[in-house]
Structures are given as structure tokens and as C-alpha cells.
Copies of this chain bind each other. A is one copy, B any other.
Amino acid sequence: MKACIVHKPDSGDVARDVLKFLTEIGVSAEILQDWSLAKDFDFIVSVGGDGTILRLLQFIEGKTPPIFGINTGKVGLLTHCDANFREFLLKAIEEFETEEFMRIECVVDGEKLLALNEIAILTAKPARMINVRIFVDEIEIEDIRCDGMLISTPIGSTAYALSTGGPIIDPYVESMLIVPVAPFKLGWKPWVISADRKIKAEVDSDAFVVADGHKIVSADSTSEIILRKSESYAVFFKVENRIGKIVRKLRLIR
């Protein structure tokens, strides 16, 4: 079994501890500099926060190896334990139970983005609204002036989408959440749609399309923006009580 370790710049010490530990328990491991190689390992240990995992995922286009997250920052939703990782990491490797979460794929004029949390379509000019039209399976469900529009996964419902009127979605309910950011309109609602549907977005002026806050592509009124569930699942070592984990995280942002 071959593992790799990725880490946040400030978490090199913990990463080296992980390397030593994995070697001790007989796992061949290395600390990766070039994260695009991560996809070829049997599993990945991420040392940092949710942000580190989100960045890592930008480097893996297909289904990912199982990820184990060691949290060295604020409480995360995607991580498995804090810097006292030994017991938890050992158990995870021994049992090797995993679970997978859908990602959303967005194609903007041929360029492809992949997101575990959300694709945000945002005005390119601060304090200037854009008009966004959203089509689900070719049916227009929304036509709205706003700061932007989010298309979020269930996992992403506790990320950027939490800042809007969106609900918390159980990560085991495969679906896509569509919700505007600062809509200049009285009558609108968040939509939770089947993950099998296709979404098309149109904007009337310059916009940024942003995947998980990390990768940005430009779009304009001529762009075709297509979103759908990706088959490139993100795989994680299993977390026992995911509802409880969400409840604890929400308490921190009350």
C-alpha cells in the first residue's frame, strides 16, 4: 500500500509526523510537492483544513483515492481528526471503509471546472449586478438580477451556500442546490433538484465562474455554462456520524 501526504504550508511538522507514523506501520509513504501525482496513490492524507482538501481536489480529475483529513486549523467538515491523529488514522487504514460524495462539473465555453462544494457564478464588477437565467433540463426556472448564483452539492450546503437562503442538505441525498446570492427580486426560492438533471446558466454581462473558491474562469453574455453531476466522485474515509458532525459545525457559526 502506497500513500501520499499533502499539507498546508504551515503544517509541515505534522506532515512529517504522519510520514514517520505511516512508515512505522509499514505503509510506504511520501510527502508530495506536485499534487497532481496524488491520484496514483492508494490513499491520501491531507494535513491542513477543509481548504487544503478543496485545493487538493482541484488536482484530481477522476474519482479520487480515499482521503483522510487531519485538521490543523478551525473545525472542518471534511477532516477526520486533529493533530493527535495516530489512533484515528490507524483505525481508518485497518478498516479501510470509505464513502464518496458527488462533485459538480461545470463547462464554460469548453473549459471544465470541478467542485466538491459549489460552482459560483459571480458578477465580475463589485456592486454591479448581473442577470442570471437558470435552465433545468431546458426549463427556465429562474431569471434574476443578483450578485451571483450558486450551484452547490449537498456537502457544499454548509459552505458558501450557507451564506444564502439555502438549506442544509444531508450529504447522502444526491442532489444539486441552486440558490442566488443577493437576488434583487422579491419572489424566489432555493431549489434542490435531482443530481441527474442538467443545468444551464446564462449571464448578461461579465462574470466569474468559480469552483470551490479556488479556480476562476471568465464568462460573458455569449458564454455557454453547463453544469451537471460529475462521475469524478471525491472519496473519503468514512465518518461515523455525519449529521452530528454537521450539527457541531453549525453551532460554531451561530
Q: A-side interface residues toward B, CB under 8 Å?
A: 120, 122-124, 126-129, 136-137, 139-141, 146-147, 154, 160, 162-170, 172-175, 177, 179, 181-194, 196-197, 208, 210, 213, 216, 241, 243-244, 247, 250, 253-254
Contacts and interface: CB of A to CB of B under 8 A. Distances in A.
Contact of A177 (B126, B129, B167, B172): B167
Given A167-B166, A170-B194, A244-B139, A126 B127 contact: no
A251 to B, nearest CB: 8
29 contacts: A120-B127, A122-B126, A126-B208, A126-B210, A127-B160, A127-B208, A127-B210, A127-B216, A129-B163, A136-B243, A137-B243, A139-B241, A139-B247, A162-B184, A164-B182, A167-B189, A167-B192, A168-B190, A169-B192, A170-B192, A170-B193, A173-B193, A181-B182, A182-B182, A186-B187, A186-B253, A187-B187, A189-B250, A193-B243
A235 to B, nearest CB: 19
A141 B243 contact: yes
Nearest to A135: B243
Nearest to A157: B192
Q: Which of A160, A177, A192, A254 has the most CB of B within 10 A?
A: A192
A244 B120 CA distance: 24
Contacts of A244: 139
Nearest to A181: B182
Nearest to A169: B192
